[in-house]
Chain A
Amino acid sequence: MVAEKKNFKYNDMDTLRSRVIVERDRVTSTASTDFPHNYPGIDLSWNFEKFKENFKIKINRLSKSEMEFDMIGIDAAIANAFRRILIAEVPTMAISNVFVMNNTSVVVDEVLAHRLGLVPILADPTKFDFKAKDETSTDLNTIVFRLNVKCKRNPQASPTETDPLKKYIHSSVYSGDLIWDPKGDQAERFKDSPIKPVHDDIVIAKLRPGQEIDVEVHCEKGLGQDHAKWSPVATATYRLLPEILINGEITGDAAIKFQSCFPKGVVDIVEGNGVKKAVVVNPRKDTVSREVLRHAEFENKVKLTRVRDHFIFTIESVGSIEPQDLLVQAVQVLMDKCAQVKRALQATLQSE
């Protein structure tokens, strides 16, 4: 690699442009410097063709609720915009009104409502409208659930039974007890994917014989920025690809020590001519603990950096929207925003 020949004390322009440098007690070169006229003689103006050429997305992992992908060749501002939109601006459906008919459980009404609100709902938000504050509820902007649970003694249980789950019927109220009450043509519209809570096993309250919860619940479309219950993700985050550079060679016992400074699988020991040599095999696995930098023997022998435009992006969906769709929707939101700004700019220009 070219990097190995570099003088570690001196950061050349390439490094400063493309890498975040992880030092022992600080991070330097954190901000992107790639903007036009910043470096004499280098054309850094934005070029769509160049961008298309450099930009890559590589999906590493994909499941129903989680996705990890590499996003390469993009500025931190844009990557962060996707992250922020995923957390706060992709709409979902969530319970926003709870009408308590009867609640004799130990969980008081406000807390019950709060708990219900945080239950993720499996419903396609694109098929619903936002409901304004003074607007009336219709089948186009509201989903109705009913929760009616009463706890009784289990006649079949043995008298010595101590486990409340067996001793009583309905000793716990689960999210699965929420029953969808289709309004208007909702039953027809969602017959392929009936609306329900994402998980059926979220404990909402615990009951004892004689206690009862009878509530009607209205879901509305909303944004994560208004309340975390509307956030479609548990979290969306990214980290930069770590890079470990070795100056010269690390051999012998030092190599073993070097290896132990990183998580498993980052550094391998290669034996050649009876000499153990440390080789970086998978820097992606590094957690950037900076442990190597604490040891005097590795001073000036190792340098930690992170690739500035290589984002290892993780989306953990709450379950209502699948992660790959989430990214698309996030991009759509950003595009809509851009379009709006563009329209506004044009309007201003025209008026002038």
Chain B
Amino acid sequence: MISKNLEEARADVKKGIKESREHAEALFGGKGLTDPIPTVEDKWKLLPAFLKVKGLVKQHIDSFNYFINVDLEKIIRANERVKSDVDPHFYLKYTGIRVGAPERPDQEAMNRSYTPHECRLRDLTYSANIYVDIEYVRGRQIVRRKGVPIGRMPIMLRSSHCVLTGKNELELARMNECPLDPGGYFVVKGVEKVILVQEQMSKNRILVDVDRKGFVQAGVTSSTMERKSKTYVGTKNGKIYLKHNSISEDIPIVVALKAMGMQSDKETTQLVCGQDSKYIDKFSPNLEECSKMKIFTQQQALDYIGTKVKAPKRAFGPGIRRPPAEEALDVLASVVLAHVEVHDNNFRPKCIYVAVMTRRVVMAMLRADLVDDRDYVGNKRLELAGQLLSLLFEDLFKKFNSDLKMNIDKVLKKPNRTQEFDVYSQLLFHGDHITSGFVRAISSGNWSLKRFKMERAGITQVLSRLSFISALGMMTRISSQFEKTRKVSGPRALQPSQWGMLCPSDTPEGEACGLVKNLALMTHITVDDEEEPLIKLAYILGVEDVSLLTGHEVYMPDTFMVFLNGNILGITRYSKQFVAAFRRMRRAGRISEFVSIFISDHHNSVHISCDGGRICRPLIIVENGRPRVRSEHIEELSAGKLSFDDFLRLGLLEYLDVNEESDSNIALYEREIIPESTHVEIEPFTILGAVAGLIPYPHHNQSPRNTYQCAMGKQAIGAIAYNQLNRIDTLLYLMVYPQQPMVKTKTIEMIGYDKLPAGQNATVAVMSNSGYDIEDALVLNKASLDRGYGRCQVLRKYATLLRQYPNGSYDRLADPPVHPDGIASVGERIKPGQVYINKQMPTNTSSDIGVNSRDPTANAYKNAPMSYKSAMEGYVDKVLMTTTDNDQTLIKALIRQTRRPELGDKFSSRHGQKGVCGIIIQQEDMPFSDLGICPDVIMNPHGFPSPFGGSKVEDMSRILIENGFSYSGKDYVTSGVTGEPLSAYIYFGPVYYQKLKHMVMDKMHSRSRGPRAVLTRQPTEGRSRDGGLRLGEMERDCLIGYGASMLLLERLMISSDIFEIHVCEMCGLLGYAGWCQHCKSSKGMAKMQIPYACKLLFQELQSMNVIPRLQLENVF
């Protein structure tokens, strides 16, 4: 019996195998699944090709380009007319806008074109004029003018309008610019400013979540050019309500729908629930509630809502108040769900939208897993420089126009004018509102837009030029809008959907952990795209208009609702075919490659997106189990015959955004392709960002080590840019002999870290030595330091302005003692305290000095020299004397220190292994190997990650053995002190070490006596003020607990702000010099010592009519 069954089973299996083979044959053209698939060699070469066309900061540049080339036009068109309240015939119309090339604001300059580097040096703003074309009424005629400047726009470096774009290395060198610099930032008042990428929730999408009380609600942030508002459909006591800020009370959902014209309960039920009885059961209480409220018609519903609408602020006075129903209709049409447009009072689309939201709520009430994940990257949008600037510009432009209108009205109001009114002159001399608005916003980082009630600080940051990597890392940084103080783990956690989009390693530790993220290597952030062609295409491909259908048809089993950017487009019954056809159009290049389309099976819907701010990345398309990219394509790519864009054009690659990625089946390696695969990854290491890409063998590290290294790589001293010696930055750290790492990653070569490295290949012995190396301390070889290991330069800028004052006097430079012109010469040694710019200021800067005034004090000068404040002598590296925007003389002096590593300086390997130098040992004391090599650095192995494993490492072992070393890299080592061998084998070899910017010289501080604060007479605080070291509350608690009262007294009073007072024993008040002013006597005056702060307290209390009286007693 059993054997028979077995046999049958075997036959079944055989049949199954045969069938599957046949199936495979049909699928893969004769190739079995187990047949070896020829792999595409070197497909990683697509990555440099991608970086060549896109670059690491392409998202910033793309976004800015879109803003000045496309968005500006749109803004102008939306605000094109300026009218006058006085003269109805008058109008001013903007017909065009364009941004010129960056040029000096100075009209008389010989050569008006300037470079970003000149702006950095001279503290200028790298900007270009904004020109508009206008058409306006002058008298009785219409005048047209082209190219009227209205302000200046800061220009992003390497954007389409920047002078650096498209220049080769030689031309860049002539402009003092580094070819490896990515651009993507602004130069404002000589400071490099980055507009950080901002992460936000996506707009115009329904998002279902559960609030704190456990109620389900569906929310939409509507965002249109005119308005931003949030609408919720939420539950309360099992019933569903519509909530909106402009309506003071929650509106029962059925009432809201009735108000929008859906008066039949059946229609409503169908559109929310379809035929599903479970949904109907859940929804019916709402219908009941509505009928209980006795609201049956649209008019009743509108009347009801109208009473709840918050009075809108109107420009033309509070007197005019429309009937409530009208008010309600207006609010429902244009404020609630503003992104669903209502044309000619046709509320049908909005009704359906509200019904869909309601349905989502009902669904989520029944099934908790249908609640959306707010942290899902597909629900996020990234806001870039272009979008932020566009908001700012629109605000400034509106303000500009309203100011202009006010001025026009002011002139037109005058009954008789001597001259015909020409608005052109008004426009020209309208001031620099737009210019200064841009400069203020970018240099302070405060985006305050009244229109959207937006008040955001910290949008821009100074580009960190600590090292090449820190600058690069800053350009890919994404900051989140979440509050840092809130203790929620969700937004901080690593999201699976971050894969390939955001770097899993590169995030700071501490409060911003997980909130500040970095882009992965191969990402692209989309910009807004046209919707009309997509709508047309969707209808051509068989989408049916939803307005013509009832809920019965809409929610049929195989019917999918089609959304475009969150708006309902229609329905389709052939979702798979529709999506496939749509994708085919995209791969053929008929629509933008950044349009995404995916099927959501949970909601039976198809979502098409073309909005800006989505993160997407390229993937290789897999067809019939084979990647479309073949070896021959890569060969052509290497030969330079194909570019990355050609791969897109040929339909070999495509961009997927996070949502579409989740709807695809992506194989990590070619060998993992299965029949269901739709794509294959270009290269796995692209999931890391630029900074994490520097780590060799990151997959052998414990994951937090990679995160530590990401933070530390940015602090490493090295080469900064090719123009580093021409820069005058506030603080510049340079390494004297940087080396490129011996162990490189592909990322290192692609981002140019091998050209601008930050570190040296040190010979490291991993062992304990001398005990000065515990707790991650390092032992350094003195001879290595003598020979230049870890040597670095610190250059600091000291700048001053030679100001001209309102009364005509000005600062001047006096020569002696600083030779020959009051500024120290280049190359001169500056000792601590020495004067290097001998500036003098006039004593009188405000009042007039008479021209004939003989009074010598009127224009006397006082010394205001700049003296060098540092513990170590420095050398003048550069002196710059120039003029700024407003013709002030600017002097910048760069003073250089060359430092050799010393005790306490911080070093780190590339694996999050940081340590400070604990001792410097003579070369002869160092252990040496059989080859005579002695280490530059000895690293303590305590807490060292366990040895590597894996095939790569076996390879390395083999090479070691072949060259006569131990397989483990551990050498036989002799002690340099005793001359006898060490009894342990020592891991010995080159390791890339970074010197970090934290150096003892900048930190060490001590004080015995020193300056005191004026008010409290207590020692000052902080190293920069030579302050004292605070004995804080907790230390005080310890001393109290220990009972060391005399020490406490000494620390808190005697060594701090001791003060001798005279107290009257009669009245208990403070006297002075043995005399009590209150008692008018010197009888019974006692002397005592109290802290000065205590005396201050007494006096302050007295000033508030509280009398503190001291009652003195004899202690002994």
Contact = CB atoms under 8 A, between A and B. Distances in A.
Interface of A: 20, 22, 25-28, 30-32, 76-77, 79-81, 83-84, 87-88, 100, 103, 106, 108-111, 114, 118, 224-225, 227-229, 231, 235-240, 263, 287-291, 294, 306, 314, 316
Contact of B964 (A80, A239, A263): A263
Contacts of A294: 967
B980 A32 contact: yes
Contacts of B976: 80, 84
Nearest to B979: A80
A26 B979 contact: no
A87 B922 CA distance: 10
Given A20-B981, A80-B979, A235-B934, A291 B967 contact: yes
Interface in B910-967: 922-924, 928, 930-934, 960-961, 964-967
Contacts of B979: 76-77, 79-81, 83
The 6 nearest A-B residue pairs measured at CB: A80-B979, A237-B932, A287-B964, A228-B786, A228-B783, A76-B979
A83 B924 contact: yes
B922 A110 contact: no
Contacts of B922: 88, 225
B787 A118 contact: yes
Interface in B970-990: 972, 974, 976, 978-985
B896 interface: yes
B114 interface: no
A316 B928 CA distance: 15
Nearest to B793: A108
Contacts of A32: 980
Interface of B: 725, 736, 782-783, 786-788, 791, 793, 827, 875, 877, 896, 898, 922-924, 928, 930-934, 960-961, 964-967, 972, 974, 976, 978-985
B787 A228 contact: yes
Contacts, number: 107
Contacts of A80: 976, 978-979
A146 B887 CA distance: 46
Contact of B978 (A77, A109, A118): A77
A196 B924 CA distance: 28
A239 B927 CA distance: 12
Main secondary structure of the interface of B (DSSP, over half): loop
14 contacts: A22-B972, A26-B983, A27-B984, A28-B983, A31-B978, A76-B978, A76-B980, A88-B922, A100-B827, A224-B923, A225-B922, A235-B932, A288-B972, A289-B966
Contacts of A84: 924, 976
Contacts of B736: 111, 114
B956 to A, nearest CB: 14
A238 B929 CA distance: 9
B142 to A, nearest CB: 59
A108 B896 contact: yes
B267 to A, nearest CB: 81
Contacts of B983: 26-28, 30
A140 B545 CA distance: 104
Contact of A26 (B967, B974, B985): B985
Contact of B923 (A81, A87, A103, A306): A87
A255 B1052 CA distance: 81
B788 A114 contact: yes
Given A84-B976, A103-B827, A108-B896, 20 more contacts: A26-B983, A27-B981, A27-B985, A30-B981, A30-B983, A80-B979, A83-B979, A108-B898, A109-B875, A110-B875, A225-B922, A227-B786, A228-B786, A228-B923, A235-B934, A237-B932, A238-B974, A288-B972, A289-B960, A291-B966
A2 to B, nearest CB: 24
A157 B890 CA distance: 42
A287 B965 contact: yes
A88 B781 CA distance: 13
B765 to A, nearest CB: 15
Contacts of B725: 106
Contacts of B877: 108
B786 A229 contact: yes
Contacts of B985: 25-27, 290
Given A25-B985, A88-B923, A289 B980 contact: no
A96 B1002 CA distance: 28
A176 to B, nearest CB: 21
A111 B899 CA distance: 10
B961 A291 contact: yes
Nearest to B898: A110
B901 to A, nearest CB: 14
Contacts of A237: 928, 931-932
A253 B896 CA distance: 66
Contact of A87 (B896, B924, B930, B967): B924
B131 to A, nearest CB: 42
A302 B293 CA distance: 100
A26 B923 CA distance: 25
B900 to A, nearest CB: 9
Contacts of A118: 787-788
Nearest to A286: B964
A111 B793 CA distance: 10
Contacts of A106: 725
A345 B924 CA distance: 27
A22 B877 CA distance: 56
A89 to B, nearest CB: 9
Most buried by A among B782, B924, B933, B982: B924
Contacts of A288: 930, 972
A10 B984 CA distance: 21
A228 B782 contact: yes
B738 to A, nearest CB: 13
A289 B783 CA distance: 28
A88 B932 contact: no
A31 B964 CA distance: 25
Nearest to A25: B985
Most buried by A among B791, B793, B932, B967: B932
B382 to A, nearest CB: 41
Contacts of B967: 289, 291, 294
Contacts of B960: 289
A30 B877 CA distance: 54
A27 B972 contact: yes
B953 to A, nearest CB: 15
Nearest to A240: B981
Most buried by A among B782, B877, B933, B979: B979
Contacts of B966: 289-291
B928 to A, nearest CB: 6
A239 B930 contact: yes
A225 B934 CA distance: 15
Contacts of A100: 827
Contacts of B898: 108, 110-111
A109 B874 CA distance: 11
Nearest to B984: A26
Contacts of A229: 786
A122 B836 CA distance: 41
Nearest to B725: A106
A231 B983 CA distance: 29
A237 B922 CA distance: 15
Contacts of B875: 108-110
Nearest to A291: B961
A216 B933 CA distance: 35
B947 to A, nearest CB: 13
Contacts of A306: 981
Contacts of B974: 238-239
A97 B412 CA distance: 80
Most buried by B among A103, A224, A289, A291: A289
B827 A109 contact: yes
Contacts of B786: 227-229
Contacts of A20: 981
A294 B736 CA distance: 44
A133 B422 CA distance: 83
Contacts of B788: 114, 118
